[in-house]
């Protein structure tokens, strides 16, 4: 099982995909070079449980799953949204502006850095379906 996997969250599969992509040096360098921020993403699932992931595109181009019992880690940007809305954003079926304006995406911190993660999702494309 991946270190970023979180049972009960659809987003977990995308973060596993992102973790695999970041093992490639070129992708990691592009992420760090364009985003230049630590992005904290908190997802709520259908059971109203929360899970937080930290995407470090400021220092090393990595992703970690935060411990649920700890307060949210510090970052340049903190995104909060529902699991299904995150999947729409990650798979290109919705955009951050639409989710934000509809009240489905909450952003704390540097708004410009928040928009940069969407372009990374577009570059990577949707996560391949698991068989």
Least confident range of 3-17, 62-76, 115-129? 115-129
Query: In the predicted model, is pLDDT for residue 131 greater than 70?
Result: no
Task: State the pTM of this model.
Answer: 0.89
Helices (H), 22-91: 25-35, 83-90
pLDDT, one tens digit per residue, over 15-43 is 999 999 999 988 888 888 889 999 999 99
Sketch the domain layout of the chain as residue ranges. 10-123
CB 78 within 8 A of CB 40: yes
Q: What is the per-residue pLDDT for 128?
A: 67
Residue 74: phi, psi to the nearest 5? -80, 150
Residue 102: phi, psi to the nearest 5? -85, 0
> Alpha-carbon distance 41 to 38, whole Å?
10
Query: Who's near 113: CB < 8 A, 6+ residues apart?
Result: 35, 36, 37, 39, 76, 77
Q: How confident is the model at residue 130 (pLDDT cuts 50, 70, 90)?
A: low
How many residues appear in the chain?
131
Choose which CATH entry (3.30.1050.10, 1.10.3330.10, 3.40.50.10680, 3.30.950.10) describes domain 10-123: 3.30.1050.10
pLDDT, one tens digit per residue, over 77-115 is 999 999 999 999 998 899 999 999 999 999 999 988 888
Q: What is the per-residue pLDDT for 69?
A: 67
Nearest to 3 by CA among 81, 91, 67: 67
């Amino acid at each position: 099982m991946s270190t970023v996997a979180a049972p009960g969250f659809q987003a977990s599969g995308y973060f596993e995909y992102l973790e695999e992509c970041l093992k490639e040096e070129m992708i990691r360098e592009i992420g760090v070079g364009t985003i230049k921020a630590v992005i904290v993403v908190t997802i709520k699932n259908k059971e109203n449980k929360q899970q937080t992931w930290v995407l470090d595109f400021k220092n090393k181009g990595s992703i970690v799953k935060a411990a649920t019992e700890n307060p949210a880690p510090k970052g340049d940007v903190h995104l909060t949204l529902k699991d299904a809305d995150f999947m729409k954003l990650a798979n290109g079926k919705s955009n951050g502006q639409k989710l934000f304006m509809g009240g489905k995406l909450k952003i704390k911190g540097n708004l410009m850095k928040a928009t940069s993660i969407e372009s990374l999702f577009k570059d990577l494309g949707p996560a391949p379906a698991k068989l």
